Amino acid sequence: MFKNFIKQNIFFVLLVVFALNLATAQEQSINKKFPKNIIVMIGDGMGRNHITSTNYYFYGKDSAQAYEKFPVQLFMSTYPAVIEDNTKYSLKYDSEYFWAEFENPKDGFTDSAPAATAMSTGSKTYGGSIGMDLNKQPLVHSSQIAKKSGKSIGVVTSVPLSHATPAGFIAHKESRKQYSDIAQEMIDSDADVIIGAGHPDYDNSNQKFDTSKYEYVGGTTYWEKLKKGYNGWTLIQTKQDFEKYQTGNTPKRIIGAIQVNSTLQQERKGDDKAEPYKCQRNANVPDLRVITNVALNVLDNNPNGFFVMIEGGAIDWASHANQTGRMIEETIDFNQAVDAVVKWVETNSNWDETLLIITADHETGYITGPKENDQNPLTNPIVNNGKGNIPGMKWNSNNHTNSLVPFFAKGAGSELFYLFADETDMIRGKYINNTEIAIAIKLLLNYSK
């Protein structure tokens, strides 16, 4: 609804945005509110209770994250355009329905592909879609507009580089399962940074495969081409290389294939139900914080700024498997990457020229407090058992839910999201729709199609 309103009234909306700016600071220039840098960070599958339980484990208290102190704090709906194997239009998010029965949150959820597509293009679409509309026609990614306006662009993830979320910000393919085609499209795109797992030669414990698997990097031919500097790409692979490029001079374009096949840590061998960090970790693999620093160090070479999407991808994988310890590890990994970004903004940029968004694509695992059949966080909250202790919590699904996810923003243009928060949930309060991330970013990039 709001999207059509904006399409028809784009100048009015811009006027409102400018008026808001003027109201807050008379002499503030309009340009100041068009961010130079836009950073979107997505915890895949990270619902409110993922953050809370991680806070309790790591800090012994809630609201411990830098982003939980950001000026913009809302929730966000994530449902796709169509559900149930793409046969039925979605019920949308209905607050009364969602909270009425314990099983209701399991209805109408999205997968990561249309969720990323919605956040990147502003259009809801079908399950599995990578940047394609309901008629399987390509949509316009925010990153494409950012590129046209002279910015650098990139995607970073802790799962394969051609997986649904990073793909959903760059590529256009009918199905998220076309990994090899997606990787090729990403490698042939004008992205400046692509970093993720998906290395053809290493398994999930950073050991050499007997037979390499090239799917996530676009097949053998593309892999061989990348090694030879195809299209100006510098391919980096080792932990040492990632650590090196966190600071100082960098190549112009970096494609990073981390030496694990699917996730940095979550799929490693060993006791997968152990408490956080109790099971031996992959020592020779960089964490999300390090690869985030590399991305920022490459992208900030451009005086026109950049657009980047950074994903903590394996929060979702741990949650599908109901691995409490590994879910907490992955959420900590994501939080540390957020801290690195905040530090980058405050050291190398500032909040007047950079917009930072922290959110999720959907919730996974249906985490509640420890009581049976009570999804209300007021009557069945996560129980704090103190720092270093697993909190009282319960997994109620091994799949996604249609829960509202947390949304935090700070910096240039972030007030815009209050304009979009025109719906209210009976428990979570004001919320935006996931498409409104792209609509806001396109507005902030001064795009009016």
Binding site residues, Zn ion, CB under 5 A? 316
Do 299 and 308 contact (CB within 8 A), yes or no?
Answer: yes
CA distance 385 to 383: 6
CA distance 245 to 295: 9
CB of 176 to Zn ion, least distance (A): 11
CB of 95 to Zn ion, least distance (A): 23
Do 64 and 334 contact (CB within 8 A), yes or no?
Answer: no
Please identify, using beta-carbon distances, which residue of 182 and 439 lies nearer to Zn ion: 182
Please identify, using beta-carbon distances, which residue of 316 and 333 lies nearer to Zn ion: 316
Residue sitting closest to Zn ion (CB): 316
Please identify, using beta-carbon distances, which residue of 316 and 423 lies nearer to Zn ion: 316
Do 166 and 157 contact (CB within 8 A), yes or no?
Answer: yes
| Tokens matching residue 128 | 């599995």
CB of 85 to Zn ion, least distance (A): 16
Task: Characterize the bridge pairing of strands 354-360 and 37-43.
Answer: parallel
CA distance 132 to 141: 10
CA distance 387 to 64: 12
Please identify, using beta-carbon distances, which residue of 44 and 423 lies nearer to Zn ion: 44
CB of 93 to Zn ion, least distance (A): 18
Do 174 and 136 contact (CB within 8 A), yes or no?
Answer: yes
CB of 361 to Zn ion, least distance (A): 8
CB of 362 to Zn ion, least distance (A): 7
Please identify, using beta-carbon distances, which residue of 223 and 366 lies nearer to Zn ion: 366
CA distance 80 to 43: 18
| Tokens matching residue 268 | 């490693």
Please identify, using beta-carbon distances, which residue of 116 and 254 lies nearer to Zn ion: 116
Q: Is 304 exposed, middle or buried (0-12, 13-18, 19+ CB in 10 A)?
A: exposed
